[in-house]
Structure 1
């Protein structure tokens, strides 16, 4: 009993933080999602907030923008991270410097300061536009051009591939070199070795990165808020889901509506997570697995 009490005493700070700062607000937001709460009064409206989502054109636009971003940025970021990790897995001079250099952007990629710098780089006649003009390409600035908004955000996501790269690099270290040597002796080329050895052996790591990056892509907010000025402009091409949630909750003061949006996002991400785990049984292979 004394050890149990001591254990719970050590857990108490975490338990207080969880119930007061996580679980409690989640329960409160679930209740508010069934009301028209405007920071002053909460009147029960049942499912009106949820049914109203699908008749809101800006909500549907935010879903479209976010899903497009997830489907493009996640695979592009993972492919880049895996390729660079394979390059850094070889023994060469200055390897520690290159690993640090490629990882460093991911430490600050989600910060507001980087979003401000990114916006300044992509406006008309700024660094990126001036560079493209050397090759005769004049975009007129990426910021404010709805056709280039999504590529700009995908490039921002790609720039921060350091996180999954480090995890891929750790996974590559666990692949036995004897497998590559045996395959090479059998005449398998580099691409063949990649498909038959690297991908299967790295499938648990690929699955983990895919899961984490997918969840993270659904929650992009800071860069969208800064680059679009908090409005989703131009023409709602930067109206990501969480940004529209913020607009409805903290600009329009429709907290009940915003809470409903938040819970829809929780459910959708949960369903996608379950589906990824279900499909992983067919392509993720663990050492010692009889399959």
Structure 2
């Protein structure tokens, strides 16, 4: 009878063990991460204010009424129902009243490409916006250059960011796992992270800096070939704006991945450097 009682006793499942904490992010990585986040925030909002002064993008060296090279435009127009905001992309027009082109508090709407809450300053002030934008652009450029030199010297780029053949072999599996919201928590970055971070650090950020320099008359006088390589000053401005959009999209996806993968663990990593990995032998453990 005692045996029967023991056979019917409930089985207590043990809680899954936590994986070890590993030191994933160095002080320098964490510092530059927050500097870039801070500078890009001010560059974005001040850049939108600068864009409001000329809310059109062109392809080529010049622009004006005699040219037909506009590829993007935000504006306002009068209609039978009153002023309406619009956004025109490659000749296709979309009504964006209330957000782009025509926005503001009820009864105080005005023609404005990007709304006041999305720009620095919130009121129209091109001079202040340019000062803010250029200041943080130089901070971004200097920090990125120092990070690049330090990353090459201390091996961070080769060790943590440079993709290897095994990363490309893992890429289909990583994509499938991310689509299923199944994440691996390991010391090393996975293939998608390496490609995403590498794309931002080695392509998008340098490109936004180079196109910004190409729009400067002083830099143009020193390096006239830079403007020509990029297809003209107006093309450089269009590329500059496009890269900004890509950086915003990266930020949105980045934040969604942090929330999906475990925000406490991810934030602890970028604040303190310590990261909780998967338990040894678990499904999340990566094979070499």
The TM-score, its normalising length taken from structure 1, stands at: 0.25
Judging by fraction of residues, say which structure has more helix: 1
Judging by fraction of residues, say which structure has more strand: 2
Larger Rg: 2
